[in-house]
Amino acid sequence: MELNPNYIFELQAEMLGALSNPKRLMILKALGKREKTVGELAVQVGIELQNVSQHLRIMKAHGIVVSRREGQAVYYKIVTPIFAECCELVRQAIMENLEERRALIQNIK
C-alpha cells in the first residue's frame, strides 16, 4: 500500500503545529539524549509541573515523545533524535540569519 504524499504533508503540518510553541521546543531541547521525569523538565525549563504535563500530552499525542512509568515517576523521551535535530537546525538557521542581519545593520551605520 502506497501512502498519499498529500497525507504525509498533512501529518507533517500537524506535527510541526504541535511543536509551534516555545515551551514545547524548550522541553524538546531539555530532553536531549536522555529521558527525564516531568519534575526534572519543569525545573530545567522553568515552568509549572501541570504546564509541562499538558505540553507533554500534546507532544505524545503527535508521536513526538513517549513515556514509561517507573513506580510513581513517569519518564519521557523523544521518539527519534531526528525531531530534536530538526528543531536545532531551524534554531541554528535563525541564529545565522540574525547574525547576518546584525552585520548588515552594522555596515550601514
pLDDT at 1 exceeding the cut of 80: no
Cell of 46: 522553568
Mean residue pLDDT across the chain: 92
| Per-residue pLDDT tens digits for 65-108 | 999 999 999 999 999 999 999 999 999 999 999 998 888 788 88
What's the mean pLDDT in 28-37?
94
Confidence at residue 104, expressed as pLDDT on a 0 to 100 scale: 79
Residue 88: per-residue pLDDT? 92
Q: Is the pLDDT of residue 109 over 70?
A: no
Quote the cell numbers at residue 10: 498533512
Residue 18 has a pLDDT of 94
CATH T-level topology, domain 5-108: Arc Repressor Mutant, subunit A (1.10.10)
Residues 6 or more apart from 45 whose CB is under 8 A from it?
Answer: 23, 26, 27, 30, 52
Q: Note the pLDDT of residue 105.
A: 83
Which tens digits make up the pLDDT trace of 43-62?
A: 999 999 999 999 999 999 99
Q: Are 9 and 43 in contact (CB under 8 A)?
A: no
Joined grid coordinates for residue 66: 513517549
Question: Domain residues of the chain, as ranges?
Answer: 5-108
